[in-house]
Amino acid sequence: MLLKELEEEVTYLYHPDHLGSVSVVSNHRALPYERVEYLPFGEVWIEETDPATGYIPFRFTSKELDEETGLYYHGARYYEPTISRWMSADPAGWELINPMERDDEGGWRPKAGYSIIEAVNWYAYVSNNPVIYVDPTGMWVENEDGTFTAERGDTLYGLYGDDWKEASGFGDRDPGSLQVGETVGKPSKGSYLYASAVLFGLPISNDKDTGAWVSSEFGPRTLNGVEKYHYGIDIAALARTRIYAVGPGKVIEVGIDGDPENQKPSFGNYTKIEHDNGKSTLYAHMLKSPVFAKGAMVRTGYLLGEVGTTGRSTGNHLHFGVYSNGKPVNPRYHIRGDYIHGK
């Protein structure tokens, strides 16, 4: 089969409803490929798929459905659609109960978007109104006027995606600096749903299993007295720790250590994957030649290689990079901060 034909075959078009739920998927010939209908709280009602082809995990409100457990992953929490409940309590906790908030003069005012349902039931999904509301991260409270109120752990990135600076009007503010109870404007239609739908798993198993930790953050750093910008994060881990694709996509670049054709020898053995929505991810310094060749299609969680120290590297680590329309962005915005710890 020609590579061109192969590429055409793996082009799918998603047709979401007003909540962003993936209801119809068609192929490049506009023929239906998958059809799913949901009950109001997200339980699958009708599912027509071709079992011979791949499973598409992004479903109700564009969230990733874990096929084995039947749970939806929302960043902060897992959601069980058959019983319409979160699997853990709202991390905002007691904050949900207080109907008042501080005003600018140090006094109190009624809290915008206060929900009696969420105050008494920390496991309720979108105040039991799933026909109108979505919960992009499992945390943000969506208010009736279209604004969002931050809960503990929320970030502007999580709500607005890549355009958070312009979209939120918060300029150069640290996207993680939001205060609990702070209210922000409505994201442009679809931006937060889509941004959160495309990525991300973790490039490496969690630190309890592997001892992985972030040894170098994204941003300026000094190496041998020279200031350089670090366009990714370094995740130090034991040699042979497995490295996984964080989202579905196509391998667009591979480098083999010592190969004269290697475009970026400093990365040693590396793989770069292009995802939807203009995003791509980079996995560098792998122990051996990458598992997948250029042009291969991968899914979330596919094994790409193992941690090594090939290329310009002083110890076993994964250099993990995230690019948005070719521009490096901080991978920390894409992985859960409580999952892999810093120094």
Q: Which residues bind Zn ion (CB under 5 A)?
A: 232, 234, 319
For residue 314, the tally of other CB atoms under 10 A from its CB is 7
Quick one: 181 or 203, whose CB is closer to Zn ion? 203
Instruction: Give me the residue whose beta carbon is nearest to Zn ion.
Output: 319
Quick one: 80 or 234, whose CB is closer to Zn ion? 234
Residue 330 CB, shortest distance to Zn ion, in Å, is 13
Quick one: 128 or 215, whose CB is closer to Zn ion? 215
Quick one: 157 or 218, whose CB is closer to Zn ion? 218
Euclidean distance between CA atoms 22 and 57, whole angstroms? 10
How many Å from the N-terminal Cα to the C-terminal Cα in the chain? Answer: 49
Return the H-helix or E-strand segment holding 5: helix 3-9
Residue 175 CB, shortest distance to Zn ion, in Å, is 21
DSSP state of 130: T
Euclidean distance between CA atoms 338 and 11, whole angstroms? 35
Quick one: 234 or 306, whose CB is closer to Zn ion? 234
Euclidean distance between CA atoms 86 and 65, whole angstroms? 14
Quick one: 189 or 221, whose CB is closer to Zn ion? 221
CA 289 to chain centre: 27
Phi, psi of 121, deg, nearest 5: -135, 100
Residue 31 CB, shortest distance to Zn ion, in Å, is 44
DSSP 195-238: HHHH----SB--HHHH--EEEE-SEEEEETTEEEEE-SEEEE--
Residue 273 CB, shortest distance to Zn ion, in Å, is 17
Q: Locate all alpha helices (DSSP H) within 99-189, ordered by sequence.
A: 116-120, 156-160, 164-168
Residue 136 CB, shortest distance to Zn ion, in Å, is 30
Quick one: 105 or 227, whose CB is closer to Zn ion? 227
User: What's the half-sphere exposure (Cβ side, CA atoms, 13 Å) at 46?
Assistant: 6
